[in-house]
Chain A
Amino acid sequence: MYSEKVMDHFQNPRNVGEIEDASGVGTVGNAKCGDIMRMYLDIDENQVIRDCKFKTFGCGAAVATSSMATELVKGKTVQEALSVTNKAVMEALDGLPPVKVHCSLLAEEAIHAALWDYAEKHNIKIEGLEKPKNDISEGEEEEDY
């Protein structure tokens, strides 16, 4: 059902983890639907993405798109990263099954959310970046056994 590239990025995900004192962090998705992505960006003074890490709760495609998205934005300028679309992520993975296309959209949103956080923290405006929808429903997942 998945391409070899998707399987590779799922089984050997690149850039998993956190960045302490990240320049920007974005979390998108919804536990209810089964996908949450969190992106960490480390951006230098020239607005170049030095490092990018992710954490994802979700299916194989969600992990693979997160992994690929981090690869695609690493080393790019903030402005270049903004133009990494879900289509680019999908193409880089040799495609996704139709029911999994939303995972690639989530990856794009996660990048945008992290960039937005960076822009807010540093009081700058990134041309073309809109405030991301954050549909994480806080507190809803708390249910102790």
Chain B
Amino acid sequence: MEKKLIYMDNAATTPVKPEVLEAMLPYFTEKFGNPSSIYSISSETKKAITDAREVIARTINTTPENIYFTAGGSESDNWALKAAADAYESKGKHIITTKIEHHAILHTCEYLEKKGFEVTYLDVDENGLVKPDELRAAIRPDTILISVMFANNEIGTIEPVAEIGEIAHEHGVLFHTDAVQAYTQVPIDVEAMNIDMLSASGHKINGPKGIGFLYIRKGVKIRSFVHGGAQERHRRAGTENVAGIIGLAKAAELATANLKERTEAERKVRDHLISRIEKEIPYAKLNGDRTKRLPNNVNFSFRFIEGESMLILLDGKGICASSGSACTSGSLDPSHVLLAIGLPHEIAHGSLRLTISDDTTMEDADFVVDNLKEIVGHLREMSPLYEDFIKKEA
């Protein structure tokens, strides 16, 4: 019997939905015209891009001229930070972000620090939440930008974005949010939430890889990211990734249309996973906030064991998951997010992230917990830390 694949790494990437692929395919072949040309096959692709932009704009309650297509989340983050720094340098050189951002934000901030900007990295509480009071206290007269992620990619914590937006707005500081994980998992309204810039990606929402967008509120001074042709209102030149744009819009449309029912179903499976793991596996700690949490995210630390070993053994059972252990990050340090919420190194090494989709069934969840129990037990039997702990307890 062929082993069933249980994919629980949807925060890493997702498969393209068949409807999305179907919508994209004509734009590789018969509808190949360059949108900037004037003949009729091109006006068709141009129209398709216009429609796609409208679809995307509606999903976050803005207008199409504020949507700029990019190559994905990392590019959107880079653009937002570098261009804002560039455009507002004369006002000040201070940026506020958090310790738990994605590397696309953190490494861009480090780059900007080398260019003479000052960056405040806000702490988060033990659940990964930014404390609005600390944000307020960090704002200075020369603060030009606040960048706080909408929801964390590792522990799934949803930040108080509306409150952060309000604080930024009160102080006249630009507010950017990396919504790569939150987009279509949580309702987003850039007007109500005072968001000035927002990054999103296609491949996290069952769309294609290599496409994303940056929302930039009208009136925000943002320099061009790619110089060249007139595409994306001159701000990001280059012939459009037409099929990608069509795929992104289709995926966003589908995911927004069923957001409520889909995330409700995900939440049920998520909570089932969490409750079974908490009941059945001792010395396990849920990472992230219990309620302010992405509907598809489960993240646990299992004491006395290491994450990579867990992943290999899960893979042996056909289960795809991820971990914040050092061995999976390519460095000696475990995930910066797990350290920021205060986990000691050795416990951060034993973390496991399961990110589900609406395709994940209760049976899948049970299969994963059944195997996980066995794997954690097996690795603990092998662990000198567990041996010491048990001897101490005895």
Contact with A along B84-128 (1 / 0, CB 8 A): 000000000000000000000000000000000000000000000
Chain A residues, CB < 8 A from B347: 141, 143
Binding-face segment, A28-36, A42-50, A70-78, A88-96 = A28-36
CA of A60 to CA of B308, assembled, Å: 7
Q: Is the CB of B345 within 8 A of A55?
A: no
CA of A31 to CA of B312, assembled, Å: 20
CA of A143 to CA of B283, assembled, Å: 11
**A10's closest neighbor in chain B, by CB?**
B312
Chain B residues, CB < 8 A from A18: 387
Contact with A along B316-358 (1 / 0, CB 8 A): 1000000001110010101000000000111101000000000
CA of A140 to CA of B346, assembled, Å: 9
Chain A residues, CB < 8 A from B309: 10, 58-60, 63
Q: Is the CB of A34 within 8 A of B382?
A: no
Q: Is the CB of B384 within 8 A of A27?
A: yes
Judge whether A56 is part of the interface by a CB distance below 8 angstroms.
Answer: yes
- Number of A residues with CB within 8 Å of any CB on chain B: 30
Q: Is the CB of A31 within 8 A of B346?
A: yes
CA of A34 to CA of B379, assembled, Å: 14
Chain A residues, CB < 8 A from B385: 31, 36, 57, 141
**A32's closest neighbor in chain B, by CB?**
B345
Which residues in window 94-119 of A have CB below 8 A to B? 99
* CB of B52 to closest CB in A, whole Å: 38
**A27's closest neighbor in chain B, by CB?**
B384
Chain A residues, CB < 8 A from B325: 34, 59
Judge whether B240 is part of the interface by a CB distance below 8 angstroms.
Answer: no
Question: Looking at chain B's contact residues, is the secondary structure mostly helix, strand, loop, or mixed?
Answer: helix
**A39's closest neighbor in chain B, by CB?**
B384
Judge whether B75 is part of the interface by a CB distance below 8 angstroms.
Answer: no
Of B330, B346, B386, which is in contact with the most chain A CB atoms at under 10 Å from its CB? B346
Q: Knowing A34-B332, A143-B347 are in contact, say whether A63-B384 is a contact too (CB < 8 A).
A: no
Chain B residues, CB < 8 A from A62: 306
CA of A141 to CA of B309, assembled, Å: 19
Q: Is the CB of A141 within 8 A of B312?
A: no
CB < 8 Å: which of A7, A32, A37 contacts B384?
A: A37
CB < 8 Å: which of A59, A143, A145 contacts B327?
A: A59
Q: Which residues of A contact B (CB under 8 A)?
A: 2, 7, 10-11, 13, 16, 18, 27, 31-38, 55-63, 99, 140-141, 143, 145
Q: Can you list 23 A-B pairs with a CB-CB distance of less than 8 A?
A: A31-B346, A31-B349, A31-B385, A33-B326, A33-B345, A34-B306, A36-B383, A38-B384, A38-B387, A57-B304, A57-B346, A57-B384, A57-B385, A57-B386, A58-B306, A58-B309, A58-B327, A59-B308, A60-B308, A60-B312, A140-B344, A141-B346, A143-B344
Give 5 nearest A-B pairs by CB, closest first.
A31-B346, A59-B327, A59-B308, A38-B384, A55-B384
Using A10-B312, A99-B330 as known contacts, list a sample of 7 further A-B pairs with CB atoms less than 8 Å apart, ordered by residue number in A.
A32-B346, A34-B325, A57-B304, A57-B305, A59-B309, A61-B327, A145-B283
